[in-house]
A = this chain, B = another copy of it.
Amino acid sequence: MATLGIDLGGTKIALGVLEGGRLIQRGRITTPREGAEAVLQAMIAAANEALAEAGAPVTAVGVGTPGPIDYERGVVVFAPNIARFRDVPLRARLEEALQRPVALENDANAAALAEHHLGAARGAASSFFVTVSTGIGGGLVADGRVWRGAYGQAGEFGHLTVLPGGPVCGCGNAGCLEAVASGRALARDASYAYAEPLDTPELFARWRAGEAKAARIVEAAADYLGQALADAQKLWDPEVVVVGGGVALGGGEVWLERVRRAFERHAAGWRTAPLLPARLGEDAGVIGAALAARALAPEGP
């Protein structure tokens, strides 16, 4: 059985056909900037092409999308970073156009599912996936399935309050993890401290070169991430924690070790799950979307 996974992002739409544990086909297009209808048409065209060229019968389609989803109605409430993408009945539109059952899943949840079944968390009974990139997201997987929460909000790890009274976050709260440890927060703090525009790769380069100011910024963010991971351990207690995303990749093993030390310090009296780097990289979104579709296929999950 093969399923098609679609990862809808702000700059690109990635597609892949998953059979067993392997992507047997991949595709990628640029996300149109003309609003929801253009995005839908581009997705449908790319998906039809992928279905036609897939070397195996594709029984179902899964889509990972950023932002909140109304799972019951199959509607994307809104997608941050995609212009005019609000209240889009994505499931119904795709089911009609592709003539197959369609599953929607939050993109961080989809990546969590992928790392759980086919990536770093393989074999664990439960796992917590964190992606640290422009923003910070997360996903909880237990008993093989994503735990979405009662209101579809579970895994909104980037919005845990780690510094009460800290920088105001896009969500409206102050001191969110995302507001002190995401790529955007790092770039904000670096640009302020150096009084010139500085992006995350340049900040990491200066940190590696041993600059004290860069180290203060990078390490403070790693410490807050460790603190929030300790919160997740005490509250939900996953068997393993997987960390992915551009900032994690940029920080590498030295950064991850710093996160690990903060994690263990804040979880002083408790056991901490192994902290593992993500394995599937950019494929996680597509693979996870394809895995989400398996639950819909006639043969079951």
Which residues of A are in contact with B by a Cβ distance under 8 Å?
A: 124-126, 138, 140, 142, 147-157, 159-164, 170-173, 224, 227, 230-239, 265-271, 273
Contact = CB atoms under 8 A, between A and B. Distances in A.
Nearest to A165: B163
A148 B269 CA distance: 17
Given A150-B239, A153-B233, A159-B270, 14 more contacts: A126-B149, A140-B235, A149-B237, A149-B238, A151-B239, A153-B270, A156-B234, A156-B270, A161-B230, A170-B269, A171-B269, A171-B270, A231-B235, A235-B236
> From DSSP, what is the main secondary structure of chain A's interface residues?
loop
A220 B244 CA distance: 36
B154 A235 contact: yes
Contact of A227 (B164, B235, B237, B266): B164
A162 B53 CA distance: 52
A103 to B, nearest CB: 19
A126 to B, nearest CB: 5
A86 to B, nearest CB: 15
The listed residue with most B CB atoms (<10 A of its CB), out of A140, A149, A152, is: A149
A159 B237 CA distance: 12
10 contacts: A151-B239, A154-B237, A156-B235, A156-B270, A160-B235, A161-B231, A161-B266, A171-B269, A171-B270, A173-B269
B125 A271 contact: no
Contacts of A142: 147
Given A173-B230, A265-B173, A266-B173, A271 B151 contact: yes
Contacts of A155: 235
Contacts of A172: 268-269
Contacts of A265: 173
A266 B54 CA distance: 47
A268 B164 contact: no
Given A161-B162, A164-B227, A173-B230, A237 B148 contact: yes
B268 A157 contact: no
A132 to B, nearest CB: 16
Contacts of A148: 237
A262 to B, nearest CB: 10
B230 A171 contact: no
A234 B157 contact: yes
The listed residue with most B CB atoms (<10 A of its CB), out of A173, A238, A239, A273, is: A173
A97 B227 CA distance: 45
Contacts of A232: 235
A270 to B, nearest CB: 5
A225 B157 CA distance: 18
Contacts of A238: 149-150
